[in-house]
Amino acid sequence: GENVEQHPSTLSVQEGDSAVIKCTYSDSASNYFPWYKQELGKRPQLIIDIRSNVGEKKDQRIAVTLNKTAKHFSLHITETQPEDSAVYFCAALKGPYGNNRLAFGKGNQVVVIP
């Protein structure tokens, strides 16, 4: 099955700086890559996703880039704010097949220092 690795496991940044989290995946057939954000004590929520036919996608201060050749994708957060402090999960899926699993990485703790 798909194996997703995230690094670094913890990232501390000064408020206003940029944060980058990288994920690698193992199955070259994977074609959908979402990012979920989980604030402390809250539920995970989708913040951005990208499909394999696109190399980059942006939504205000967040962007995701995909390198299919190297099998990695990254989350970029610019002008970080304290409310960006959270655990970020990347995931990968091949499909669409009903019994496919969305394989989550182990999460990155991002700490924005005011």
Partner 1 sequence: DTAVSQTPKYLVTQMGNDKSIKCEQNLGHDTMYWYKQDSKKFLKIMFSYNNKELIINETVPNRFSPKSPDKAHLNLHINSLELGDSAVYFCASSFGTPNTGELFFGEGSRLTVL
Binding mask 23-62 for partner 1 (x = CB under 8 A): --------xx-x-x-x---xxxxx--x-x-----------
Q: Site for partner 1 (CB under 8 A): which residue of 77, 87, 110, 112?
A: 87
At 83, phi and psi to the nearest 5? -75, -5
CB of 55 to partner 1, least distance (A): 18
Torsion 85-22-65-14 (CA) sign: positive
Q: Shortest Cβ distance from residue 13 to partner 1 (Å)? A: 19
Alpha-carbon distance 99 to 14, whole Å? Answer: 42
Our CB check for partner 1 shows the closer of 45 and 81 to be 45
* Percent helix, strand and coil across the chain, each to the nearest 5: 5, 55, 45
Question: Closest distance between partner 1 and the C-beta of residue 29, in Å?
Answer: 12
